[in-house]
Amino acid sequence: MKTVGDILKLARIKKRYSLKKVERETKIKKEFIEAIEGGNWKALPDLPVVSGFVKNLASFLEIDVKMVHATLKRDYPPRGLLINPKPDVGGKFTWTPKYSFLLGIVIIIVMLLGYLGFQFIKFNSPPALEVTSPQENFIATSNKVDVSGKTDPDATVKINNQLVLVGSDGAFNGQVEIFEGTKEIVITATNRSKKETTIVRKIVPKLE
């Protein structure tokens, strides 16, 4: 039993028409013509469009249009049996309030874990410490030297073992008494986990 593709292909070959010629004359893409001749329905559009192609080809090849169209309807598989049917709309992913709620929960959990991790690292790390005064190799002409800087707000600061006040922003200021033999000032910041950071400033006393 000849298929609609067989009928059209035989008619084309009998007239010695190439696929290129048929494409040029009918304005139907060569790929569609090959698919119709080979019965490759998955490579073709829906039946109404294919029907138009077949009628156009039959007319151009001078064969019975009604007969060819009837053969097409016999050969064309039912929509449910197509190899590449249209996807079921019900299976398409849709964003719902439930997914928004779950996403919000995940974001909160990630932020909480990140915060706890940051606090853990901070708790187990030595405090930051910056000494703005005095500078290294400071020449001291008085027996009292001003010491200032900045650390973590929850840290305690000692200057040559003397405790000084730390402000809410971590800034501290203090004075240390030196003598002719004093060669350095030691600033130590200690946090709640007893981790320490120490900066030593060498000084040059030139007391009058």
Rg (CA), the chain: 44
- Token pair 């019900």: residue: 90
Question: Side-chain half-sphere of 12: how many Cα atoms within 13 Å?
Answer: 24
- Per-residue pLDDT of 46-99, as tens digits, reads 889 989 999 999 899 999 989 988 888 888 887 654 445 454 545 567 888 888
Spatial distance between the Cα atoms of 22 and 147, rounded to a whole number of angstroms: 95
C-alpha closest to that of 8 among 34, 46, 30: 34
Is the domain spanning 4-81 CATH 3.20.20.370? The answer is: no
CA–centroid distance for 181 within its chain: 62
d(CA 150, CA 131): 7
State the Cα–Cα distance between residues 174 and 163, nearest whole angstrom.
9
What the block records as the tokens of 157 is 């600061």
Mean predicted lDDT score pLDDT of the chain: 87
- As a whole number of angstroms, the distance between CA 195 and CA 56 comes to 88
* DSSP for residue 124: T
Whether the pLDDT of residue 39 is over 50: the answer is yes
Locate 19 and state its tokens. Answer: 């696929």
More confident residue, 171 or 193: 171
**Does CATH place domain 129-205 in 2.60.40.10?**
yes
pTM as predicted: 0.44
Measured distance CA(78)–CA(96) in Å, rounded:
35
Tell which residue, 126, 137, 134, 204, has the closest CA to residue 173: 134
DSSP-based three-state secondary structure for 60: helix
The tens digit of pLDDT for each residue in 172-196 reads 998 888 888 888 999 999 988 888 9
Of the ranges 5-9, 28-32, 121-125, which one carries the lowest mean pLDDT score? Answer: 121-125
User: Domains of the chain: which residue ranges?
Assistant: 4-81, 94-123, 129-205
